[in-house]
Structure 1
């Protein structure tokens, strides 16, 4: 944290992005007597239009391009926490991370790009530790529900049996929401980079990619590539596209918490399906999309004519009607299967993500003053205080359902 007293609790950079606009409206709905915040973006005309639309004339705004280190440094001096919704982060995110790591300014984002997080860890983690900056990636739908769901499951397992669960399976039981152009752009960029770099392709299949270099994990992890029937849980499953980032964040949390989940912890994510037919149909559809989007000409055609573009996304009505329900099945060493649920009351990637990101930033700035500098996961940085904030202010419940639910 900067040695001077910052003017703001948080500044949102990327306020005119799709999820940024949702987050601005959410921040404006909070108790302004206990919150001091500002907005920033690359285009001042869009910022002014947004402020006018939401009647936020008293909220200060700042302008900077994503690669303007000097301007971003000036903005960072004014706040406890910088929040970034400017993606794809691999294209637009590095300069702000560098400025925060150098200046000691705390930082939160909602990236789901493991290759970019790995690059930022390699370049700036030591600088962040030295400056005192606390940087938290993946503070949205990827990967707060997964991270906190596993954290609570393991905390309860240790309390109940004296040892962590050696295996947890996360199954998405219900998911209602649509993708925005920004999320699609990030996914396409990962596929593009992986297609051009064999080394990156090898990195992306490593479940421990984001763990510290001295981690001691070597257990082979489950990788869901097709539809299958889980005899233990008695359900059909299919691949979950966000497992690629969520599983790596969970393993990093384990390492950052001193192997709290054990050195031989197994974790996997998948979506549940009504039956084998629907599981296979969805699996084949997802596989066809990824295969096509991995080929340059097809990817460009999809981006231009089929997929939503940056700035486009679900309507306010779709955000309101969206929801998610995720279950964490922990195999305890006493033979029981403990079930934890994480559920949200809005479209997961946008309505819920905006609220989760805002509360994560406030939690980082207000609730964990003793946390030293460095790069963190949501659970490793905030854990219980964040669970409380999400329940009270973000419509996200992290709770125990009991056994075999």
Structure 2
């Protein structure tokens, strides 16, 4: 990547809901010497956001570019070392900026939880980014940094202990947080694409759809993200019930892509899944069953909700794009991700990744902000290669160290058998 750029980092989409939160975080976390710019469609809105960020952002430049203006996106990418974008749904608005960064040798980070978008980035831009040296890093928020880094750090610990490859791992998510209109709009954009081309549904259903070469993915039989079971079936110490985790379908694909990008370093027969803890009360089995059934139904009927009567009904029920939880709700949220793994030698480990704040918004602003800062300022020869990458394959332990210093809890412990 060309070092002589005008900016270290440009935040694109700074006037959006998550963009504003990310800009606020970066203003407090970036080095005082960092050269940062805010970008978006409206100069007036950008000025208003900058005025709210305090003295550290007073000199930040403001750049105007529409997601449909490829020339403007190309110009932005050529001026900076890193672009961080919160402008979604990415399938609608993200391809032009990813292309501009891949061509210019500019590192890029987004928040996408859209496997169809990531697959298109891989197909269109991976080779280009390898040649230019650009790191095009998808899913740098709650989708999918905690999942991806947890398994990466388990792998590193097993290597240090000479404990063999990872044989299997299960992540159990305990979360409290809200939904924004942007998140829902991203899901709807994917449903619309599948409604127009049903063959795309196979990509969403394929656990190895984002792997470097899906045709060479291991044949481990049926792997499903839908579940309903007692938690003790995962580890004897766990009480209560677990159910389907809404983000599992995307997160698990990212983790498997990391494994493939690292030459199947976790293990060619590594099994991975994610579930959500439903509680320990007497009503927990019912809650778990309702969630599992609801998400299974949504998977089947989602494309129908993207058009006609289904779309009109959904428009009345869900938040509009650009909205999200209020400050009190964001402060009251939290997440704890515990990943239980067993290696090929029978050694067991537990990775814990936890943070205060709404996972999709307050915590995601930290995850995305530190991802951008890592791409801009961290140098690690193990990760100095380009392509369409994942958080762990692009930044690995550097990002984990940054997030630990930001106040997140990240640990790996050996469990006695």
With normalisation by structure 1, the TM-score equals 0.94
Structure 2: where are the runs of 5+ without partners? none
Aligned-pair distance for 1:284?
A: 2.9
1:246 paired to 2:251: yes
Tell me which residue corresponds to 2:364.
353
- 1:226-283 Cα deviation digits (max 9, x unpaired): 4223524255221111111110110110011111111111000111222322211222
- Name the residue aligned to 2:138: 137
Structure-2 change in CA distance of 1:309 and 1:387 (3 Å): same
Question: Which digits, 9 at most, give the CA deviation of each residue in 1:274-320, with x for residues without a partner?
Answer: 23222112223334555554312354124421101111001111111
Match of 2:225 in 1: 224
Distance in 2 (CA, whole Å) between partners of 1:242 and 1:390 is 21
2:278 alignment counterpart:
273
Asked if residue 282 in structure 1 is aligned to residue 291 in structure 2, the reply is yes
* 1:399 is the counterpart of 2:392: no
Q: CA RMSD in A?
A: 2.0
2:104 is aligned to 103
Deviation of 1:147 (Å): 0.3
Tell me which residue corresponds to 1:182.
182
Query: What does 1:292-311 align with in structure 2 at a 5 Å threshold?
Result: 292-295=301-304, 296-311=307-322
Deviation of 1:195 after TM superposition, in Å, equals 2.5
Alpha-carbon separation, structure 2, partners of 1:128 and 1:335:
39
In structure 2, C-alpha distance between the alignment counterparts of 1:303 and 1:232, rounded to whole Å: 36
Deviation at 1:224, TM superposition (A): 3.2
Number of residue-to-residue matches in the alignment: 402
Give the CA deviation at 1:103: 1.0
**1:186-231 CA-partner distances (Å, limit 9, x unpaired):** 0111122123222101121111111112644222353132422352
Supply the distance in 2 between the matched residues of 1:189 and 1:299 (Cα, whole angstroms).
14
- Answer whether contact 1:89 1:186 (CA < 8 A) is retained: yes
- After alignment, is 51-60 or 201-210 more displaced? 51-60
Could you tell me how far apart the structure 1 residues matched to 2:138 and 2:351 are? Answer: 23
**Structure 1 residue 66: Cα displacement:** 0.3
Q: Say if 1:142 and 1:245, in contact at 8 Å, map to a contact too.
A: yes
Q: Map of 1:104-119 to 2, 5 A cutoff?
A: 104-119=105-120
Of 31-40 and 65-74, the range deviating more from structure 2: 31-40
- Mark the runs of 5 or more structure 1 residues left unpaired by the alignment: none
2:311 and 2:334 map into 1 onto residues whose CA distance is 31
Cα 1:33/1:321, change in 2 over 3 Å = same
Equivalent-residue separation in structure 2 for 1:159 and 1:22 (angstroms): 37
Cα 1:325–1:298 shift into 2, 3 Å: farther
Structure-2 residue corresponding to 1:164: 165
Q: Give the equivalent residue in structure 1 for 2:261.
A: 256
- Name the structure 1 match of 2:63: 62
